[in-house]
Amino acid sequence: MAEDTRQDKRASFSITEHSANGMARTSAVASGKTGTSKKLVIKNFKDRPKLAENYTEDTWLKLRDAVGAIQNSTSIKYNLEELYQAVENLCSYKVSPTLYKQLRQVCEDHVQAQIHQFREYPFFMCTESLDNLSFLKRMNRCWQDHCRQTVSVMFDRYWTVGMDTGLELFRTHIVSDSAVQKRTVEGILEQIELERNGETVDRSLLRSLLGMLSDLQVYKDSFEERFLTETNRLYAAEGQRLMQERDVPEYLHHVARRLEEENDRIVSYLDQSTQKPLISCVEKQLLGEHMTAILQKGLSTLLDENRVTELTLLYQLFSKVKGGLPTLLQFWRDYIKSFGGEIVCTPEKDKDMVQDLLDFKDKMDNVAQSCFARNESFINAMKEAFETFINKRPNKPAELIAKYVDSKLRAGNKEATEEELERILDKIMIIFRFIHGKDVFEAFYKKDLAKRLLVGKSASVDAEKSMLSKLKHECGAAFTSKLEGMFKDMELSKDIMIQFKQYMQNQSEPSNIELTVNILTMGYWPSYTPMEVHLPTEMVKLQEVFKLFYLGKHSGRKLQWQPTLGHAVLKAEFKEGKKELQVSLFQTLVLLMFNEGEEFSMEEIRAATGIEEGELRRTLQSLACGKARVLNKNPRGKDVEDGDRFNFNNDFKHKLFRIKINQIQMKETVKITSWSLVGFFIH
């Protein structure tokens, strides 16, 4: 047991080693038998080792030499790890305050010495000795060297002559010098002005110097205020000059280019904090101060010429300026009222009024959608303006819109497919909404619809009913009830005529004339002035046959014939051959007279037919003075006068076999083949 105990004992030794820097390190060495493991215990010194004599002074001399080498851009003759360890040792022995003061003083002396290069005569006093660009380059080189040196002089994580101290020294001894600061800022402003004038400058130099001012926390006071003042002055003068020299499209593109350039400067070298005041300054001087002048000078031209690109740019630019969009909105509204008012209030343009209104509305819609970003205020202002100008001339727009619809729904209109016609009707309804006198529209629309239905000239029943549906949706069922009644009358008349034809087939004496009668409800249709005319005997007989047939089925009703709406198809023989003439009932009565004689005066024709004088003049004019002259008038002329005489034009020629005479055309031996009358029934 005694022997085992002795074998378990271990020896413990402490060895003190001195390193090259004078510091002592302690290590422990243990010895014992191999193959056994024991925990190694290292005990601290009971007393803290002292620094070697002259250690602090020697270390400082080494540090000073190293800092000098950094400042002079020469090689450091000491091992950096050794210097780092020495600084750490001194910091652990509370020597850092003294070391900091010494090191700061060395750095400060060096920075102070740099100011002399900016004060050398004649460099500083005479711009010819060193221009502003060279000055800026020298300043930038000094700043870059200082930043590099300051970073290099950071020695320890506990203590350092860091960036804050370096910035403070440079700000205090270099940039805070009023003369140096003034010339630096003026040089930067000069470079920016050159760039604004189209010259190429060193942007990296400007970025570095402005970054210097920002790092030194003098950017705003020393540079930004002065920069914004100069910018304000520049663009104020430029705006005044260019508004006189350039047209509005060119000016708008110039403003957009200037804003793009200034934003690019923010990205390239100006501090981000400058963006808002800089852009506001440019917008104010180039746009805000000239909003009214721009719109007065160019908005009408842009809209007249449909300059979509420039109108879009105008909206985008004005949206950036306080009060820009409200001002643009007012001018936009005034333009629409003025332009539209000219369309509506110029009688010479009545023929094209509706088409011009549709085109104008399409154009303004496109501007609002494409250029004004579908801004609801602009769309509402456009509607308000249309409603205002379209009602400046009461009734006429309503009348012409009704006639325009008639031209589109009438048979023979080959301008549009069914889909295109539907789109046209939709557009017309938009214009229709602006009209106050919708009752005027209804009156004209009803009159034209009656003609289309009675003469069978409606292009499409579907299109007619589609238009009726649109009117009902817009104005309500009461507005369209009579119009719908007109369609019902036409359907009922078809059924009645089928029955009448069957009735005629059972008559002992069938007529050579095919009669068609439309039975209309008087309250639904337009009012027509009753007129008594002298019908041929065969016509009167056929008329009485129908009356007997109809009243036999509908006792208690009264028929009132309306000859002004009647029409007929006549067969005529000319030297060229046989023709068929589509004519009105009045034209029919006049032409049938020439079966009984060769020449008649206007007075004779009037007495024989019973046609009212004004209506007779128009009828004779259509037959003798139009494009298809089936009668000759003596003396010749465009108007029918008292005493004029008429004879049959046997030499009449036409390339078509069936000829429609819209108050015009002719025949030698005339024979009625079909006849249409209108009868109103009264309860």
Give the pLDDT confidence of 448-491 residue by residue, as tens digits. Answer: 998 888 888 888 888 899 999 999 999 999 999 999 999 999 99
Question: 87 by DSSP, 3-state: which?
Answer: helix
Domains, in order of start, for the chain: 56-287 (1.20.1310.10), 292-393 (1.20.1310.10), 489-553 (no CATH), 566-660 (3.30.230.130)
493 closest CA partner among 422, 434, 559: 559
Q: How far apart are CA 3 and CA 31, in angstroms?
A: 18
The reported pLDDT for the residue numbered 123 is 44
Q: How far apart are CA 363 and CA 299, in angstroms?
A: 14
Place of tokens 């019908």: 535
The reported pLDDT for the residue numbered 367 is 97
Mean pLDDT confidence for 175-198: 88
The secondary structure element, H or E, covering residue 645 is: strand 645-648
Q: What share of the chain has pLDDT > 70, as a percent?
A: 80
Name all contacts of 497-501 with Cβ < 8 Å and 24+ positions apart: 499/549, 499/553, 500/546, 500/549, 500/550
Mean pLDDT confidence for 432-455: 90
**What are 580's strand-pairing partners?**
571, 658
Asked if the model's pLDDT at residue 497 lies above 60, the reply is: yes
pLDDT in tens, 115-141: 767 665 344 444 444 588 988 998 888
Tokens of 239: 């705006």
Beta carbons within 8 Å of 505's beta carbon, 6+ residues apart:
none
The secondary structure element, H or E, covering residue 25 is: strand 24-31
Q: What are phi and psi of 514, to 5 degrees?
A: -90, 115
The reported pLDDT for the residue numbered 173 is 65
Q: Measure the CA dihedral 441/444/445/451, to 10°.
A: 180
Number of neighbours of residue 404 by Cβ within 10 angstroms: 20
Query: pLDDT-derived band of residue 414, with 50, 70 and 90 as boundaries?
Result: low
Q: Report in angstroms the alpha-carbon separations of 431 from 113, 346, 678.
A: 83, 18, 34
pLDDT in tens, 257-270: 999 999 999 999 99
Asked if the model's pLDDT at residue 381 lies above 90, the reply is: yes
The reported pLDDT for the residue numbered 672 is 41
293 closest CA partner among 352, 222, 243, 230: 243
Amino acid identity, position 288: G
Q: How far apart are CA 432 and CA 409, in angstroms?
A: 16
Q: How far apart are CA 577 and CA 651, in angstroms?
A: 10
Tokens of 659: 């000829």
Look over the chain and give the mean of its residue pLDDT values, rounded to a whole number: 81
The reported pLDDT for the residue numbered 566 is 84
Between strands 577-584 and 658-660, the pairing is: parallel
The reported pLDDT for the residue numbered 615 is 87
Burial class (CB in 10 A: 0-12, 13-18, 19+), 25: exposed
Question: 670 by DSSP, 3-state: which?
Answer: coil
Tokens of 665: 């055309």
Taking every pair of Cα atoms in the chain, the longest distance, rounded to a whole number of angstroms, is 174
Tokens of 664: 């015009």
Q: How far apart are CA 135 and CA 141, in angstroms?
A: 10
Query: pLDDT-derived band of residue 146, with 50, 70 and 90 as boundaries?
Result: confident
Please state whether 572 falls in left (phi above 0), alpha (psi between -120 and 50) or beta. Answer: beta
DSSP H helices, 43-79, are 55-71
- Rg (the chain; Cα; Å): 53
Beta carbons within 8 Å of 489's beta carbon, 6+ residues apart:
518, 519, 520, 521, 524, 525
Burial class (CB in 10 A: 0-12, 13-18, 19+), 255: buried
Beta carbons within 8 Å of 112's beta carbon, 6+ residues apart:
173
Q: How far apart are CA 645 and CA 629, in angstroms?
A: 14
Place of tokens 């091992």: 79
Number of neighbours of residue 573 by Cβ within 10 angstroms: 14
**Least confident interval from 189-193, 240-244, 551-555:** 551-555
